[in-house]
Amino acid sequence: MSIQAILLPLFVEVLLTYVLMFWMGRARVTTVSSGQVKVRDIALGQPAWPERVQQVSNAYHNQFQLPVLFYVLTILAIITKQADFLFVVMAWLFVVLRIAHAAVHVTSNRVSRRFFIFAAGAFVLLLMWIIFAVRILLAI
């Protein structure tokens, strides 16, 4: 596989993170500027943010949980030359599920749907790690 094909899903995941970050930043600045929230009320934590702002914030912060394992795996797969067609297909599946997870977070925020999508993404990533580990440990 080409390095571009391997890295493209990672780039899309990074783009998702930045889109959510800028969305969150704009929502927070707008909320503070309008006087809806006072800086002193959010200086030490999140509880004072309105629900909509918190939804976007949660979606953004979630990009620094499970996706970190995806970033590490992608780098290791490149270094060890284990990033093949199966890896790229699974990487795209993981990223699509992350986009879907973020979409649910910032729209309906239905916990049952969000959990199902999260679990599916976690399972795909787990499979990717298992395949990678087996290949490395058995030197396939």
Residue 116 has what pLDDT?
A: 98
Distance (Å, whole) CA 75 – CA 97? 20
What average pLDDT does this structure show over 85-114?
98
DSSP string computed for 17-75: HHHHHHHHHHHHHHHHHTTSS-HHHHTT-STTS-HHHHHHHHHHHHTTSHHHHHHHHHH
What average pLDDT does this structure show over 34-51?
84
Whether pLDDT at 44 is above 90: no
What average pLDDT does this structure show over 100-104?
98
Residue 115 has what pLDDT?
A: 98
Asked which of 46-50, 59-63, 119-123 is least confident by mean pLDDT, the reply is 46-50
Whether pLDDT at 27 is above 70: yes
Give the mean pLDDT of the chain. Answer: 95
Q: Which two tokens stand for residue 71?
A: 């970033």
Q: Which domain holds residue 40?
A: 3-138
Q: How many domains in the chain?
A: 1
- For the domain that residue 67 is a member of, what is the CATH number? 1.20.120.550
Residue 40 has what pLDDT?
A: 83
